[in-house]
């Protein structure tokens, strides 16, 4: 009985996560560009880019960080995942706007 209870508690978070995502979702592999974090940070601060961090977050295990860099004038952005030494550019774009509390 005790093993069944533990199994249910271990399985429950995965079932809930799957139920929230739904059966129409699937994993897709994506190529990302990674390199020395210092080089990425210098590039984003370059006078031609001038993106500054406006948001930073840490993953649930505390092993990696994420940051959104943004240029208010050009509306350009870059999403970076990073550790202490390596950074990966997850996405870049333009025409960005903040929707804090508003529907997308």
pLDDT, tens only, 16-71: 444 566 788 888 999 999 999 999 999 999 999 999 999 999 999 989 999 999 99
Number of domains in the chain: 1
In a domain, 41, yes or no: yes
In a domain, 71, yes or no: yes
Residue 99 lies in a domain: no
The Cβ of residue 37 has, within 10 Å, a number of other Cβ atoms equal to 17
Q: Within a domain: residue 78?
A: yes
Assigned domain for 65 exists: yes
Backbone region of residue 31 per phi and psi (left: phi > 0; alpha: psi in -120 to 50; beta: other values) = beta
**Domain encompassing residue 73:** 27-93
Q: Is residue 39 part of a domain?
A: yes
Q: Is residue 5 part of a domain?
A: no
Beta sheet of 86-93, edge-to-edge order? 33-36, 86-93, 76-82, 65-71, 52-58
Whether residue 2 is contained in a domain is answered as no
> Which of the four pLDDT bands, split at 50, 70 and 90, describes residue 77?
very high
């Amino acid at each position: 009985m005790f093993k069944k209870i533990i199994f249910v508690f271990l399985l429950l978070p995965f079932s809930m996560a799957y139920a929230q995502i739904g059966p129409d979702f699937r994993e897709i592999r994506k190529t990302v560009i990674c390199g020395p974090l210092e080089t990425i940070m210098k590039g984003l601060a370059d006078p031609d880019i001038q993106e500054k961090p406006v948001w930073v977050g840490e993953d649930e295990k505390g092993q990696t960080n994420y940051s959104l860099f943004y240029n208010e004038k050009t509306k350009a952005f870059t999403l970076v995942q990073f550790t202490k030494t390596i950074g990966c550019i997850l996405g870049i774009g333009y025409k960005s706007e903040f929707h804090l509390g508003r529907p997308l």
